[in-house]
Amino acid sequence: MSSLGARLDTPVAAAYAEGPVLMSMLDDVSINALHSAMDGLQARSRAISDDIANVNTPYYRARSVAFEDNLKRALASGDDPMTAQPTVLYSTAAGGLTSNNVDLDAETVLGAKTELSYELALRAAGDRFSLIRTAIKGA
Q: Which residue has the higher pLDDT, 11 or 117?
A: 117
Q: Choose the weakest-confidence range: 27-36, 55-64, 120-129.
A: 27-36
Residue 89, CA distances (Å) to 2, 44, 62, 97 in order: 47, 10, 9, 22
pTM of the predicted structure, to 2 decimals: 0.76
Q: Give the torsion through C-alpha atoms of 9, 13, 16, 19, to 10 deg.
A: 10
Summarised one tens digit per residue, pLDDT across range 75-102 is 999 999 999 999 999 999 998 889 999 9
Which pLDDT value is given to residue 4?
A: 41
Q: Where does the chain have alpha helices with state H?
A: 11-18, 20-26, 29-53, 68-77, 104-137
Q: Give the torsion through C-alpha atoms of 67, 122, 21, 78, to 10 deg.
A: -20
Which has the closest alpha carbon to 64: 80, 76, 46? Answer: 46
Helix (H), strand (E) at residue 86: none
DSSP 110: H
Q: Which residue has the higher pLDDT, 22 or 48?
A: 48
Q: Give the torsion through C-alpha atoms of 89, 93, 95, 100, to 10 deg.
A: -10
Give the Cβ contact number of residue 102 at 10 Å: 23
